[in-house]
Amino acid sequence: MATSKAKKIRQKIAREGKRNPEAGRSPFATTDMRTRRTKTKLEQLNRSKYKNHSSIYGDDGSFYLYRKIPLQHRLELLDFAI
């Protein structure tokens, strides 16, 4: 099989004593990232159906509401507490 032009250039650079660009590659460059596996039945049951609700609802079904209070009203509350 023929050697690519880019590989020939890399080999020439290495022969001249310069740094080989292949040495700077990530270890994941040669891995096959296309491999997949199916989820188990337990993983299917435990996945969250609605992802955005996790921050609002607690594990026990409780939830909280957030209400913005104007700055003037907050200062009045602080004065009242003191």
Residue 81 to residue 74: CA distance in whole angstroms: 11
At residue 21, what is the residue type? P
**% of the chain beyond a pLDDT of 70:** 59
pTM to 2 decimals? 0.34
Q: Is the pLDDT of residue 57 over 60?
A: no
Angle 14-20-24 (CA atoms, 0-180°, nearest 5)? Answer: 175
pLDDT of residue 1: 74
| Residue for token pair 């509401």 | 65
